Amino acid sequence: MDPEAMDFPTPDATVESTTPRELKERIDAGEPVTLLDARMESDYEEWRIDGDTVESINIPYFEFLDEDIDDDVLASVPDDEHVTVLCAKGGASEYVAGALADRGYDVDHLADGMNGWASIYEPHEVTGYDGAGTLLQYQRPSSGCLGYFLYHDGEAAVIDPLRAFTDRYLDDADELGVELRYAFDTHVHADHVSGLRDLAAEGVEAVLPGPAADRGVTYTDEVTLTQDGDTFPVGEATIETVFTPGHTTGMTSYLVDEGFLATGDGLFIESVARPDLEEGDEGAPDAARTLYQSLQERVRTLPDETLIGGAHFSDAAAPASDGTYTATLGALDSRMDALSMDEDEFVDLVLSDMPPRPANYEDIIETNLGQREIDDEEAFTLELGPNNCAASQDALTGD
């Protein structure tokens, strides 16, 4: 039974709540945080809140349903420190926190649960960017999704927008006093629902890589299909299309004013792309070879000072001093062995340690192709969980 649909009894003790943003601020500040995750073990193992100072305990909610809670269960909950209880949406966690508060524990619960955590989406300025205008990196800590917002001289563009945050991009543009002129997708995403079509409906020019349309995109009349080398002005800045297939046949990077390369899922600051989400297991070796060629011929040929920013980050990634998940190409070249291997070694490495495929990835791909229509609630639910778009669960850097 779905615990969020259950009618839990009201605890005697008053239960305080904490917001997802408040919890993230504590984690970012390096405060010790103890979490009691009341979801089922399978959900917990797939996706949870982590951090260097986070102690996470998994005790499913049903262990707290009996009036006499098992002593071993209670002994697993620290009684000498503050504990934040969480679940999927906030209902079960409030009950569990109340049951513990009734027994003298110092607890609160996470309002809106992991759904609330997935609603956090924060902009950070990329201070290492030295082109025209200002570049922001949007970060979604729940899934590691990254997007980019460039603005200059009254105009703006967003790269890899998420449907769940369509209004956020428009509101941010209004607040900055700029017109959101373009929205770019780097490829047909498999881990989140794209905001491209929703922004197109708001009058933004939506740009999709031309080769991506060959996968069966149904809405080509709503978007601009870009070709390799196409350029788009944003104020005095320029965004140039750089085809970098491998992760997918349509995988495309965008070179922002010759100083920043938004690499989508082709290259991350701690790993490289997985090659199997479009081509499957049989086609993955050939796709890995295509990825190798893209990295060697289209990315590594750029100047070492080119700043790299992918569409995702993992727990293995360390942010730069400005808080963004970016690094210079020269730095990646020196610390990521995968970039300097020969082709056969690269293919073997990439195929050797691929994580599970993203949750619901086939449904998400169909949605992003326009072959499946879903409402906003289903779209948000589909993309909950880890992104798993990198080739390895561990960093491929030497850091």
Whole-angstrom CA distances from 104 to 65, 74, 79, 200 are: 17, 11, 8, 54
State yes or no: is 87 an active-site residue.
yes
- Helix (H), strand (E) counts: the chain: 13, 18
SS3 380: helix
SS3 256: strand
Question: What is the DSSP code string of 222-255?
Answer: GSEEE-TT-EEEETTEEEEEEE--SSSTT-EEEE
Contact partners, residue 305, CB within 8 Å, separation at least 6: 259, 328, 329, 330
Dihedral angle sign, alpha carbons of residues 243, 355, 268, 300: negative
Q: Reading across the β-sheet that carries 107-110, which strands appear in turn?
A: 16-18, 107-110, 83-86, 33-37, 54-58
| Options 87, 132, 178, 199, the catalytic residue | 87
Dihedral angle sign, alpha carbons of residues 25, 192, 280, 357: positive
Rounded to whole angstroms, the Cα distance separating 52 from 114 reads 19
Pick the closest to residue 351 from 267, 398, 295, 283 (CA basis): 283
Active site residues: 87
